[in-house]
Amino acid sequence: MDEWLTEYGVTLGVGALILFMIFIVWDLARRSNAGKFGTMILYIGLAMGIVGFLMKFVITYLLENAGVGG
């Protein structure tokens, strides 16, 4: 139970935080009148963090299954 809660709790928790950060970036861009280019730059910065988080899962999956079937 502990392992399941840790694994899925972190995944769901970080997923919820990512959704909240998308809202925060949108609100920040709107309030600061960032324009289209500024908003795009803000979202690119956020996307880089999200891609890094997702790559962790891909790399973990590949490392755990590297020796299977070979």
pTM above 0.75, yes or no: no
Is residue 43 pLDDT above 90, yes or no?
A: yes
Q: Give percent above pLDDT 70 in the chain.
A: 94
Average pLDDT for 40-47? 94
SS3 content of the chain, % helix, strand, coil (to 5): 85, 0, 15
The answer to whether 29 and 39 have CB atoms below 8 angstroms apart is yes
